[in-house]
Structures are given as structure tokens and as C-alpha cells.
Amino acid sequence: MSQHHPATLIRATGPSYFPIALVARLPYAMMVVGVLTLVVSGRDSLAFGGLSSAMVGLGAACFGPLLGAAADRFGQRPVLLVAGLASTTALGLMAWVVYSPLPGAAVLAVAFLVGATAPQIAPMSRSRLVEIIAARISPARRERTFDATMAYESAADEMVFIVGPFLVGVLGTALDPWAPVAAAAVVTLVFVSAFAVHPSATAVRSARGTAVETAPAAELARPALVVVIAGILGVGLFFGSMLTSLTAFMGDHGNAEGAGLVYGVMGIGSAAFALGVALFPASFTLRARWLVFAGVLVAGTAVLPFVGSVAQMSLLLLVVGVGVGPTMVTQYSLGALRSPVGRSATVMTMLGSAVIVGQASASVLTGTLADRFGTGAALVVPVVAATLVLLAGVANWVLSPAPAQSPSTRMVTPPLANAGTSA
């Protein structure tokens, strides 16, 4: 490992890294909603649209962690180049098959393919940055840089998961229902390829040498890691149920298309507080953060079924956002710190896939409830999702030994080298 340490992460990665990584993750956030919009328009069935977007989630869940494992094994560059090409093809196929005379089964198969080939940019970026911090940033700056990076990455995720559905709405309304899926295909081809060939993809391997120690796969099933995956699945369930129940709520108020805009309000509080996590004192431990902000999430969502106007809903979502952002940052930080040696990309893709699975399955469930029992019933689902996040936080508190929680001691060694400790 080189003894020369760049002063900042931006110097270590190069200035082009962050803009490319940000845009490259947009298609992932557009896929579920884009497929839903496309299928509802092309096949004229909300239920079938929901089923199709659930297939996207299922594809991502089955193959996302495998892409992560492949990246840990062969490096990110070849895996992302192949996935990017496959994803572009699958999205193009999706735009065509919906309007083709082929049966519904063909649409579902292609939707599964869209999820299965989705390039896992956000988890790959986290994994790449965590390893660069461990290899290239001076030990004195490592802990602060790690906190700030996890905060930024989660804020970036928040942003694209709100901007993505919003873009789908704009493109679908202004141009055509197939436009968002076509746009996602183009962005994938250009930006995922750019992310794959970026010099930072190989910087990690050359920094730590070619002999990469890899922990046994069984270590991925440790309770301390499983509880983080359960918690972030709850956040995904919250995203899906919130957007779907909000769409029903806005429909009741005569403006279903405006759901994306109102949903965006939640992103303001969420992203602001996600970035603010880097400023929290070390004494405010990760296990405590999870409980505090999940508590805010539960308190906010508990009011949802009683909201009467769009203005009240916007105000409430601003508050709810305060709970979402820091919870995600905390979960990703714990995931990074608990990753078994050499399995960082695998763990990050497992967390990313859990968000998508939650989003897709909650969308289907919430949509069904809204159709059968009305908006009131649909607005209860985000409360259940938030409660799941809090319960996982309680389990995490029990599984996290207090002394090892102090962030000031956790980054003395590279984060992936001390993964055996319970952070």
C-alpha cells in the first residue's frame, strides 16, 4: 500500500467520479416506476402494471447480490460493463414488448430481466469508496471521511429515488409512456459504462494488491448483518407504500399526477438530514441513531391516516423525511462496518436489493389495498413499514455491544479489515 495519502477523497477518486456515479444510479431508481407507468398504459391494467414492477424487484433481488459477489471476485469493471449492456438491451426490449402482441407472460419475463440486469451502481460506489478510504486516506482523516461519505451516498440515493419517479412522471406525461424506459436505457449505456471504466474501479485493486482475502460466504448470515438487511428492507417497504398510498391520496384530491411532486417534499428533509449525519458527535452512537430516527419515522407516519389536505400532507412528509435519511445512512454505515473481509460489494448489493424488493412488494400490496378498501387503508401500510424499521433497530441495539459502538475507535484500521468486530 502506498504511504502517500491524498488529502481528500475527491483528490483520491478524481473530480469526475461523483457526478458520473450520481447520474449512473438514476436508471435504477426509474425502473420500478417506469415499468409500472409503461405497462399500465400499454396493457391498460393497474394490477398487471403492479405485478410487472414487482417482477423488476424480484429480478433485482435474485441477481443483485450475485453481481456484487462477481464484482468482489473479478473486479467491478468487467461486471459493470456486461451488466450495463445487458440492462440497456432489457430496457429496450421492455419498451417494445408491452406494445407487442405477445402475451402477458412475455411482459413479466422481460420485467424480471430488467431487474436482473440492473447495474448496482449505488452499492458498487459505496464499496469502491469504502475501500479507497481504507487504502488511500490517511488514518487520522479516515473516520471523518467515512462518516461524510456514507452520509453523502445515502443522500444521493434519497435524491435519485425521488428524482427518478419524478422524471418518469415528467417524461411519461410530456412525451410518451415508453419515454422513461427509453431514457433509462440511454443513461445506462452512457453513464454506467463511464462509471465502469473510471480509473477508481482499478485504484482499489492496485492499492491493496492482487491477493484478496475473502471471508467465507457463511459470514454473510451473521445476525448483526441480517438485522441491518431487515431494517433497510423496512425502509424499502416504506418507500413503496408511501409513494403508492400518496398517489391514491392525490387521486382523491383530483391530482394523481402530482404525487411525485408532493413525494419530493419528503426528499428535502431526508437529504438535508442525511448529509447532516456527518456532523453528529461520536457520542451519538450508530445504534442510538437508528432508534431515534426510526422513532421519528414511526411518529410521523402514525399521523398519515388522519391528514385531510394536500398542504397538511406536504408538511407531514417534510417531518417524515427527517426520519428517513439518517436511518438509511446509519444502516449503510453498519453494513459497511460489518461486511466480512473481501465481501464489501456483496453486502452493499444485498442492502441495495433489499430497498428495491421492499419498494416493489409494498407498491403491489398498497395498490391492492387502495383499490379494495380505499386510501385510508393504504395509508396504514407506511405505518407498518416504519414500525418494522424501528423493531429492527431494537434488535440491532440488543446485538450491538455498547463499547464497540464508539465511532472514534472504529476506523483506526481499514473498515473492511476489522469487519469481524461488531460495529
- Which residue did the predictor score with more confidence, 3 or 23? 23
* pTM score: 0.78
| Residue bearing cell 453486502 | 347
- Spans of all domains in the chain: 19-208+218-410
Would you state the cell numbers that stand for residue 12, as one nine-digit string?
Answer: 483520491
Average pLDDT for residues 287-313, to the nearest whole number?
94
Residue 395 in contact with residue 227, Cβ under 8 Å?
A: yes
Nearest alpha carbon to residue 340 among 237, 420, 236: 420
- Which residue did the predictor score with more confidence, 172 or 411? 172
CATH superfamily for 19-208+218-410 is: MFS general substrate transporter like domains (1.20.1250.20)
The Cβ-side half-sphere exposure at 157, using a 13 Å CA radius, reads 31
Residue 307, pLDDT score: 92
* pLDDT of 195 above 50: yes
Residue 1, pLDDT score: 39
Average pLDDT for residues 130-137, to the nearest whole number?
84
What's the chain's average pLDDT? 83
Would you state the cell numbers that stand for residue 111, as one nine-digit string?
Answer: 420485467
* pLDDT of 300 above 80: yes
Would you state the cell numbers that stand for residue 88, as one nine-digit string?
Answer: 440497456
Residue 217, pLDDT score: 63
pLDDT tens, 331-361? Answer: 988 988 887 777 777 888 888 888 888 888 8
* pLDDT of 92 above 80: yes
Residue 107, pLDDT score: 96
Q: CA distances (Å), 332 to each of 197, 311, 325, in order? A: 25, 32, 11
Residue 268 in contact with residue 321, Cβ under 8 Å?
A: yes
Average pLDDT for residues 320-336, to the nearest whole number?
89
Let me know the angle formed at the C-alpha of 342 by 336 and 345, rounded to the nearest 5 degrees.
55
Residue 239 in contact with residue 296, Cβ under 8 Å?
A: no
Local structure of residue 14 (DSSP, 8 states): -
Report how far residue 251's alpha carbon sits from residue 126's, in angstroms, rounded to the nearest whole number: 37
Of 7-11, 173-177, 285-289, the range with the highest mean pLDDT is: 285-289
Residue 135, pLDDT score: 82
DSSP labels for 295-317?
Answer: HHHHHHHHTGGG--SHHHHHHHH
Residue 417, pLDDT score: 32
Q: 5 pLDDT band (50/70/90 cuts)?
A: low
Let me know the angle formed at the C-alpha of 289 by 287 and 291, rounded to the nearest 5 degrees.
75
| Residue bearing cell 444485498 | 350
- Which residue did the predictor score with more confidence, 384 or 350? 384
Report how far residue 30's alpha carbon sits from residue 372's, in angstroms, rounded to the nearest whole number: 27
Residue 218, pLDDT score: 63
* pLDDT of 365 above 60: yes
Q: 7 pLDDT band (50/70/90 cuts)?
A: low
Of 11-20, 154-163, 251-260, the range with the highest mean pLDDT is: 11-20
Residue 15, pLDDT score: 86
Cβ-in-10-Å burial (0-12, 13-18, 19+) of 103 comes to: exposed
DSSP labels for 84-98?
Answer: HHHHHHHHHHHHHHT
Residue 208, pLDDT score: 44
pLDDT tens, 50-89? Answer: 788 889 888 988 898 888 888 888 888 999 999 999 999 9
Average pLDDT for residues 122-151, to the nearest whole number?
84
| Low-confidence winner among 46-55, 218-227, 397-406 (lowest mean pLDDT) | 397-406
Cβ-in-10-Å burial (0-12, 13-18, 19+) of 311 comes to: exposed
Residue 82, pLDDT score: 95
Local structure of residue 121 (DSSP, 8 states): H
Nearest alpha carbon to residue 287 among 393, 392, 372, 360: 393
Report how far residue 312's alpha carbon sits from residue 318's, in angstroms, rounded to the nearest whole number: 10
User: How many CB atoms are closer than 10 A to CB 420?
Assistant: 11
- Which residue did the predictor score with more confidence, 8 or 19? 19
Residue 177 in contact with residue 50, Cβ under 8 Å?
A: no
Report how far residue 247's alpha carbon sits from residue 378's, in angstroms, rounded to the nearest whole number: 10
Residue 157, pLDDT score: 80
